[in-house]
Structure 1
Amino acid sequence: MRLSNSLLVHPGLAILFATSSLAHSPSQVLLPKPTGKYHVGLSIAELIDSSRTQPFLQDIEPIKLMISVFYPVSHEHHTSPVPYMPPETALIEDNYLSSDIYGLASPNGTFEKVALQLVDGEHLTSKDSCEEEQEYPLIIFMPGEGTTRLFYSQIASTIASKGYTVVTIDAPYDVDVVQYTDGSFAFFNFTLWNSTDQETALAIANLAVETRMGDVSFVLDSLSNKTFAQSLIPNLPSSGLNTTHTAMFGHSLGGVTAYSILEVEDRILGGLNMDGSLVGPGVFGSPNGTSKPFMLMGHAGHNLTSDDPFPVSSWAIAWSELTGWKRDIEVADTGHYDFSDYPIVFEKLGITPTNQTILDKVLIGSMKGERALETVTTYVGAFLDFVIRGKSSDLLDGPVKEFPEVTFNY
């Protein structure tokens, strides 16, 4: 693994390091190659925002973020295995998902086997991965509460292969684990998040969404620095990365952030919420809605009339405040985590649960892993094409025969 020199990006410090390829081994488990027009490269960086302090710690500490940047690469280059996650993080996930909480058969070494099929960024030059300095629009992604951004890397790389630069952002202390460049960790704050008091839980969720919104804006500010952006993306044109014409999608609390940020961040033109029960700014307490395009994507049974966690139908409240283009789709045979990499990773590892009790614990449905990946990335891609490129699609107008699992609730 290579560590570069530090780069100062006002108002924080950005540290870049590149992923390294895995050695080939018989036990290696390769996830599918991204299916779009392009191969995909990956850079990983740590960002420190010294202008804000971490709200989920008693000690004063600046907010430290880890991001993954997936960018399109010419098919002239060969793909190679790239670790799905660092070995230390993989071991933590092994223990977590094989615990009594979930009961999956994932002994030590399970997730360390998993690899993405990407192009090694160390072998790219400025013209190798971007024909005629073509600009690839920037897309922001945030994960669900309690789930590392790394469990969405297959989805992110698939979207990147469609011609987008996709940046996934971890939110320390409300995802399960964040591993920093120096080997230290930030773990999920169970003390805060396990509150049984409804008012306290809602206040924590609001704070988490507000913090994530600040994280997104800080990442956009950082990527506006040409030197920093070019250190992450070797194929970037001399003009740098366009951070003023972006879109955002997210899962669960990440999807909530994609909604709440729309009216406070002019650089984000539209948002997509994958199965997140909407809380936070813009929903409860101070509804402001948006005229920007917004899409709700729910698991089986999760729609405008069934989303009532507090117990108010937050999707219905948000829906009434959406004054522009909007869609609500529901995907049959899915659970909450079918909008992550869980289905495809578990399927490739051969640990896909079949016992209904375990399925319910892991929150995935009966849809096969590759089909879940195809469905999610196809509809996310169609939405992004509409928002960023103005491209219409029958997929967004109603049911299509290619995806009978998808129904429209609008």
Structure 2
Amino acid sequence: MRLHSIFLLPVSLAAILVPPPSGPFKVAVTTQDLLDHQRPDPWGFDTIPNRRIAVSRFDPYPAKSCSSYKRVPYMTSVVAAEEDRILDPYEWPLGVLGQLELEFCSPKKSKVSKDTPIVLFSGGGNTTRFYYSALASEVASRGYTVITIDHPFETDIVEFADGSIAYGGHYSARTNLTFAETAIAVRAADMSFVLDTVGLKNRKKDKSLAFGHSFGGAATAEAMRLDSRIRGGVNFDGLLFGPVVKSGIGRKARAEQSFVLFGAEGHNSTEDPDWHTFWTALEDQRLWKRELNLKGGAHGAFWDLNLIADVADVRGLFGQYTEEDLLSKLLGKRVYEIVTAYLDDFFQFALGRKDEGLLNGPTAQYPEVEFL
């Protein structure tokens, strides 16, 4: 009989604080449910007939604007319990997620600078947005408002403010389209809706940015195809699905857009046929693009669990095979140092504020990044 990992690993019951972000700004967080009155829920499972999503918003503030600091749970107890259940077959130590806390700024005034760029984030398939809160905080600390999005009935679990729960995995009987193509289209629509809610409604003049991990990276590409307000996008190691694979992003009479494919080691447009088709389409459209590879980085490098393993001191304490499925050989702190630096330079370039910066070519500062 295999015992649960909670009995195998020496996990303290004390709170575990995730290190604060390293950028020049402090970060405040708010969570919110958003209801799209114009769109029925595509999965048809919500008691509310219109599309409802949950988001976390990470805003940057100068340190002098913070009246105090507060600790909040990394994820709610309900979500942590469900994620424990999902991770149990991987022998991840139960209870760690429920111990984690993040520290945020409590601002004297809730308004951020009107010049602060809006950045959307979409996470991996069936993956709660909470697994990217440390990454979102890190990016926000560079001067961006980062909004992470849960996509209900596709994401494994979404807990709304009223306590209701939307579980993923109930979509196959509701549509004759493939799950991937349907879910990508839903995510893209969710992302456009979020831009509407924050007041960016002019599709010719307004500018925003987006990035995503895994399935969320594919959603970022599709959202850019449909919405020219997203001027720059990054796909962290996501397979590509849907119309964007063949059509690419750019079209005539569209705003100028830029895109980065940032793959884990071994995942690139030479080895991945869909990445190759997509890359060729961008080449034909003469769209500015870069393809980068994270040497030593696995698919699990780009989410918080890779950082959490170090913060909670559990790296190497569970099965080697399953650890390779979840984490990366590169430590979480170093990965986030790298990707945030490249995101910052790319976002500024995509907004027309500076030149290519780190995207111009290899640098000795980040030897882990390979230009393809």
TM-score (norm 1): 0.78
Q: Which residue of 1 aligns with 2:118?
A: 138
Where does 1:177-196 land on structure 2 (aligned, <5 Å)?
Answer: 177-189=157-169, 192=172
Q: CA deviation at 1:392?
A: 2.1
The match for 1:258 is 220
Match of 1:216 in 2: 191
Cα gap change, 1:353 to 1:173, in 2 (>3 Å) = farther
- Mean Cα deviation higher: 28-37 or 351-360: 351-360
Matches of 1:353 and 1:375 in 2, distance apart?
Answer: 23
Note the C-alpha offset of 1:288: 4.2
C-alpha deviations, 1:189-217, integer Å up to 9, x for none? 16639xxxxxx7x8221111111111111
* Residue aligned with 2:24, SS: coil
User: What's the counterpart of residue 277 of structure 1?
Assistant: 239
Superposition CA RMSD, Å: 2.4
1:267–1:86 CA distance, 2 compared to 1 (3 A)? same
Equivalent in the alignment of 2:96: 110
3-state SS of 1:158 partner: helix
1:9-20 aligned at under 5 Å gives the runs: none
State whether structure 2 residue 298 is matched by structure 1 residue 335: yes
C-alpha offsets along residues 297-319 of structure 1, whole Å, 9 cap, x if unaligned? Answer: 00011111122xxxxx1111111
Within the alignment, does 1:162 sit opposite 2:117 as a pair? Answer: no
Q: For each residue in 1:31-76, what CA deviation from the matched residue of structure 2 results, as whole angstroms up to 9, or x when unmatched?
A: 1111111101111100112322223346773211001111111212
Task: Report if aligned partners of 2:46, 2:166 keep a CA contact under 8 Å in 1.
Answer: no
| Paired residues of 2:121 and 2:148 also in contact (CA < 8 A) | yes
Aligned to 2:109: 125
Question: Which secondary structure state, in structure 1, belongs to the residue aligned with residue 245 of structure 2?
Answer: coil
The 1-side partners of 2:122 and 2:266 are apart by 23
Give the letter aligned to residue 302 of structure 2. F
- Which segment is superposed worse, 314-323 or 86-95? 86-95
TM superposition shift of 1:182: 1.1
Partner letter of residue 304 of structure 1? S
Question: When the two structures are superposed, what TM-score results if normalisation uses the length of structure 2?
Answer: 0.86
Aligned to 2:6: none
Matching residue of 1:82 = 72
Q: Which amino acid is the alignment partner of residue 380 of structure 1?
A: L
Of the candidates 60, 65, 68, which is equivalent to residue 56 of structure 2? 68
2:33 is the counterpart of 1:51: no
Give the residue type in structure 2 aligned to 1:87: S
Q: Does the CA-based 8 Å contact 1:104-1:353 persist in structure 2?
A: no
Quick one: which amino acid aligns to residue 105 of structure 2? Answer: V
- Paired letter, 2:96: T
Aligned residue among 288, 302, 313 for 1:350: 313
Unaligned 5+ runs, structure 2: 1-11, 251-255
* SS in structure 2 of the partner of residue 326 of structure 1: strand
Q: Which runs of 4+ in 1 moved over 6 A?
A: none
Give the match for residue 95 of structure 1: 85
Q: Which moved more, 1:72-81 or 1:147-156?
A: 72-81
Say which of 376, 385, 403 aligns to 2:339: 376
Q: Which residue of 2 aligns with 1:401?
A: 364
Question: What does residue 310 of structure 1 align with?
Answer: none
CA change 1:365–1:26 in 2 (3 A) is closer
Give the percent of matched residue pairs that are identical in Structure 1 and Structure 2. 33
Counterpart contact for 2:156–2:167, Cα < 8 Å: yes
Cα distance, 1:104–1:118 mapped onto 2, change above 3 Å: same
Which of 339, 359, 364 matches 2:323? Answer: 359
AA aligned to 1:292 is Q
Distance apart, 1:361 and its partner CA: 2.8
Unaligned runs of 5+ in 1: 1-24, 194-199, 227-242, 308-312
